[in-house]
Amino acid sequence: MNKKQNAREWFVKGYHYDVSCPDSKKAIDAYKEAVKLDNTLTDAYINLGFIYLQRECYEDALHCFEKVVELEPDNPDAYNNLGYVYERMDRSGSAKNMYERALQLNPGNIEAMLNIAQVLEMEGNYHAAVDQYRKALGVNPDAVAPRFCLAVLYDRYDMFDEAIREYENVLERDPSHMKAFFNLGTLCVHFGDYDKAINCFLGVLKLDPGNAEAWNNLGSIYEDTGHEEKAFHAYEKSLSFNSFQEEAHVNLARMRYARYRTTRDSTLKEDVIERLHFVLSINPSNRGVQQLLEKIKSDDEG
């Protein structure tokens, strides 16, 4: 059996442990055997590099992707991958150089454009980042990723009208884009458009019925709009999916305490105090919990 064939068999073993039967240590060992037998096996270097990235072994990942660039100097993906390693190592200048090299090799490479834009964002260069996202959309107006990234950038810089428009454009092209639903819902709450916000969070829950944060946000909207029973239900659903959801615990405690003050049902008060102390056991610095406990104590003394 020649070395290249043997290397390919080790690569197949590595892929098995990498994907089919996950065991990163065995996958690393197999890929290493593959490149030892055939040091031109780029697929092995790529897969090995991504495993190292996942394990945050950046120097090892860097070596793998440098080898891929050496073997395939005209492959834009090789430079994108190498740039991503530099980015994870907080070497943004080197990362940007690699992404620009990918773009030189393929001027229509949307991934490289997005990567450059994200580096520009990290550097605080808002206008240049916007230009890069728009450049990507010029290549493919229906591409979802650059449009969503542009919406998030607008959102972060309080360009709310522009952000809403782009989130809506994302959802027109991808009605299953959960993050766009979530972010758009949050903005709609900010502007008091509660009906639209409810539809957005219901959109999230259609895609992910167990999304505790979406249930909590729905609860807040229902509470603010006077739908008390719906609010109770939403907060309880949130906690049924994540019992450590602090905000839902506090919201539910606040509503139950308000009901206690009307009904004087002692079981409600006990539940509230127990719930608040549970939250403090998770986060002792939760100021909202401390304030509510102080209010309960003050009401008792009064």
Q: Which of 199, 217, 242 is the last residue of a domain?
A: 242
Residue 1 is predicted with a pLDDT of 55
Residue 253's φ and ψ, nearest 5 degrees, are -60, -45
Answer with the one of 193, 208, 242 that is the final residue of a domain.
Answer: 242
Per-block mean pLDDT, blocks of 10 residues, the chain (302 long)? 86 90 90 94 96 95 97 96 96 96 96 96 94 96 96 96 97 98 97 97 97 97 96 97 94 92 89 93 90 85 64
Residue 26 falls inside a structural domain: no
Q: Is residue 41 part of a domain?
A: no
Is residue 39 in some structural domain? no
| 224 and 279 housed in the same domain | no
Contact 190/181 with Cβ under 8 angstroms?
Answer: no
Provide the residue range defining the domain that includes 287.
Answer: 255-302
Q: Determine the Cα–Cα distance for residues 235 and 218; give it in Å rounded to an integer.
A: 8
pTM: 0.86
Nearest to 26 by CA among 38, 42, 10, 39: 10
- Tell me: do 268 and 232 sit in the same domain: no
CATH of the domain at 205: 1.25.40.10
Q: Which pLDDT score, from 0 to 100, does residue 302 have?
A: 58
Q: Is residue 280 part of a domain?
A: yes
Number of domains in the chain: 2
